[in-house]
Structure 1
């Protein structure tokens, strides 16, 4: 008989939010490993973001989903409060109370970057004695932007308010936690230093699973991407993912390399176009370009187009598939792990990555032999990387149109969604053993 897990994931299809990915990719395999999932999420019309109805088709139809309301963002923005966590918290609490009274759940699993909702785990543990697991896909309480001296996303006031909430509520959320899952090996160390009562066996590092079924489904969905025309005779290199000040080192290194290479070989770059897609989390007119200004400063603005708005998930996959090469831009934060790596590998295109040498992206890329990685340390400056960037640009420019890397798929297998779900469910099993 399978165990039952209540999954708290406020962002869930059809909203195109990165933090639904772990849940969505594991749902088809959970029952195989002894767990029956029930999703508790927020109704899509209460969430800011790109609607993507196609994602709903990838959810096994028999899995129960409970939707709840939230305060309207149109109303709360007037008082400067658009954060989904604040808007949905009382509704999730009420709905969760009802579900936990009505049904016997063996475990509660929080998989979200709406960190405020993790506080509910300790409340429900006190009320129902149900063990809970927290999945940290990013740090909640963090001094990264203060140490780096860069402007945080959303501005200093909003970020400062979010960090104040984190200082108050992260200790409560972790006070009774059964287990913590993290995409980065660095964050468990930070949490253990911060909360000495947490034991090393309460942590598991688990990257997102590679979305193989999505690429299988892509060809039958007839998705059209509107970023570029793959048949216009040009060569299109793409980056799909967020931008930001913490990625300036990698972006500048790439652009300086292109600037130098074009100075000596201008004819090669006449047919090149670089596209940076979905670089801002901000909705509508609030989205700010962070890539094009650097290209403009370095005199290569004619080669670079930035589309700051997020696009639907399957359209983003189609952008990767239609491209001639994929760029992976890393943060200067060594703990940054890019979940977008796996779709890039599955797109079977040449990959050029520029990442901090401690990032797990570098290791995975090299193990799978799916692309080339340029690495940097925290002490290096963009100009220090011009030479390795030019070397890799020469390699990328030399690949034929339609080139596919000789990826080691056997080495890639441990990163697939099924393998990751098996590890995830093994964590759930351990939580029940510990709880007894």
Structure 2
């Protein structure tokens, strides 16, 4: 077995979406000859609510090394855990590397600042490292155009830190190619030595089985006779509001088609822990759909609770961004809930192929901002087709064999193959200096 350190400041019981990336890799890597060691921050320093049910999903005997961090009560202006625990994470990884045979260091981002640890450890020990782009690092948000504003400053810092962090990386991965392609454009010399691989989060059937076994309550909505409930679960991306606006415009215009429909937006708020941080409400009120057809529960709920609500719904609603790289991980949870999916996605999103190949639902694809108007024009028509799809829906007609390639196990296999390729390039242990 080869040993891989995964540096992830947030890990279960943290209730943020990114923890599942490392969790699922850690679960499946041993099948492919890699023993994972998780280096994370003790949960008492986390900023979000805990979800102890997620801990039940962790593989047995997983080695988890927890470090301390500076409390955000002491340095209130810095809330980023990747900064508050940077030194502690670095020292723990360095200690492990110097005392044990470690073959690779892998760093999923965000949090972005921990990517620097890979470069620092490499400089001291020549242990190879890789960075996994769960989100793009240098990313222009609408808020970042405000000169000297918080987001503008953050983007300038990111532009400086990213090339420093990735300079000696041996592996660059991402949820989809679009998450790291711009990295190679900005840093062309990387192409000379880096291995790149794209693998989605992937679905994990075991999660759904455990959610069913726990018999968790669905407290956000209760089934009402004659109503069909559809769930959108997860954060609301800044560039998805334009898409949603066109959808609500169409619903308003064709309201008779939606009299028995309820869309539930769960965990879409401005803050993970604020039950009143509504993000959808104002837009829904604008089109007179609030608490009639459109409902929002802003606060993030535990992961297994999300799965329970997906299982209780009549279908899932996937809302994409105007950006082609965005690949919603919730598509895999939706398929495993065995409920029909309605997806509105950029036509270049890799999730489009998932919907098409599995025959799990109906797709409305558009070509970014240039085709936004086509969403409002076509949404009602395609939704009507989806209602017919639902009335005849059967899992017997779903191509689950096609879904196998989108499983968490297959994603981990792609990662392991890339790791083996990197390790096989040369026997770099011969060049490791005595500082190990």
TM-score, normalised relative to structure 1: 0.91
Q: CA deviation at 1:305?
A: 1.3
Tell me the equivalent position of 1:97.
94
- Given the alignment of the two structures, is residue 277 of structure 1 paired with residue 266 of structure 2, yes or no? yes
Q: Distance in 1 between matches of 2:311 and 2:123?
A: 48
Q: CA deviation at 1:304?
A: 1.3
Tell me the equivalent position of 1:321.
311
1:58-97 aligned at under 5 Å gives the runs: 58-77=57-76, 80-97=77-94
Tell me the equivalent position of 2:298.
308
Segment of structure 1 superposing worse, 194-203 or 96-105: 194-203
Q: CA deviation at 1:272?
A: 2.7
Q: CA deviation at 1:283?
A: 4.0
Q: CA deviation at 1:13?
A: 0.6
Q: CA deviation at 1:398?
A: 4.0
> Are residues 8 and 434 of structure 1, via their aligned partners in 2, closer, same or farther at CA, if it must alter by over 3 Å?
same
SS at match of 2:56: helix
Q: CA deviation at 1:400?
A: 5.6
Tell me the equivalent position of 1:184.
176
Tell me the equivalent position of 1:17.
16
Q: CA deviation at 1:156?
A: 7.7
Q: Is the 8 A contact 1:111 1:136 kept in 2?
A: yes
> Are residues 153 and 306 of structure 1, via their aligned partners in 2, closer, same or farther at CA, if it must alter by over 3 Å?
farther
Tell me the equivalent position of 1:158.
150
Q: Is the 8 A contact 1:10 1:112 kept in 2?
A: no
> Are residues 164 and 122 of structure 1, via their aligned partners in 2, closer, same or farther at CA, if it must alter by over 3 Å?
same
Q: Distance in 1 between matches of 2:24 and 2:122?
A: 27
> Are residues 154 and 10 of structure 1, via their aligned partners in 2, closer, same or farther at CA, if it must alter by over 3 Å?
farther
Q: Is the 8 A contact 1:42 1:70 kept in 2?
A: yes
Q: Is the 8 A contact 2:270 2:278 kept in 1?
A: no
From 354, 359, 362, give the equivalent of 1:372. Answer: 362
Q: Distance in 1 between matches of 2:31 and 2:6?
A: 17
| RMSD across aligned positions (CA) | 2.3
Segment of structure 1 superposing worse, 20-29 or 367-376: 20-29
Q: Distance in 2 between matches of 1:396 and 1:349?
A: 12
Segment of structure 1 superposing worse, 163-172 or 337-346: 163-172
Q: CA deviation at 1:179?
A: 0.7
Q: Distance in 1 between matches of 2:408 and 2:278?
A: 33
Q: What is the count of residue pairs matched by the alignment?
A: 424
SS at match of 2:130: strand
Q: Is the 8 A contact 1:236 1:325 kept in 2?
A: yes
- Residues 50-69 of structure 1 show CA distances to partners (whole Å, capped at 9, x for unaligned) of 31111111111211100111
Segment of structure 1 superposing worse, 335-344 or 154-163: 154-163
Q: Is the 8 A contact 2:275 2:298 kept in 1?
A: no
- Residues 284-342 of structure 1 show CA distances to partners (whole Å, capped at 9, x for unaligned) of 34963221211111121232111111111000111111111211001111111111110
From 336, 344, 364, give the equivalent of 2:326. Answer: 336
From 417, 425, 428, give the equivalent of 1:426. Answer: 417
- Residues 33-75 of structure 1 show CA distances to partners (whole Å, capped at 9, x for unaligned) of 1111110001112112231111111111211100111121233
Structure 1 stretches of 5 or more lacking a match? none
Q: Distance in 1 between matches of 2:148 and 2:329?
A: 26
SS at match of 1:249: helix
Q: CA deviation at 1:31?
A: 1.4
From 136, 157, 172, give the equivalent of 2:133. Answer: 136
- Given the alignment of the two structures, is residue 170 of structure 1 paired with residue 159 of structure 2, yes or no? no
Q: Distance in 2 between matches of 1:153 and 1:55?
A: 37
> Are residues 376 and 287 of structure 1, via their aligned partners in 2, closer, same or farther at CA, if it must alter by over 3 Å?
farther
Q: CA deviation at 1:404?
A: 4.0
Q: Distance in 1 between matches of 2:186 and 2:404?
A: 34
Tell me the equivalent position of 2:252.
259
SS at match of 2:271: coil
> Are residues 376 and 119 of structure 1, via their aligned partners in 2, closer, same or farther at CA, if it must alter by over 3 Å?
same
SS at match of 2:85: helix
TM-score, normalised relative to structure 2: 0.91
Q: Is the 8 A contact 2:200 2:329 kept in 1?
A: yes
> Are residues 418 and 389 of structure 1, via their aligned partners in 2, closer, same or farther at CA, if it must alter by over 3 Å?
same
Q: Distance in 1 between matches of 2:162 and 2:12?
A: 26
From 118, 122, 125, give the equivalent of 1:121. Answer: 118
Tell me the equivalent position of 2:379.
389
Q: CA deviation at 1:359?
A: 0.9
Q: Is the 8 A contact 1:8 1:112 kept in 2?
A: no
Segment of structure 1 superposing worse, 291-300 or 372-381: 372-381
> Are residues 155 and 274 of structure 1, via their aligned partners in 2, closer, same or farther at CA, if it must alter by over 3 Å?
farther
From 401, 414, 425, give the equivalent of 2:405. Answer: 414
From 215, 236, 239, give the equivalent of 2:208. Answer: 215
Q: Is the 8 A contact 1:238 1:323 kept in 2?
A: yes
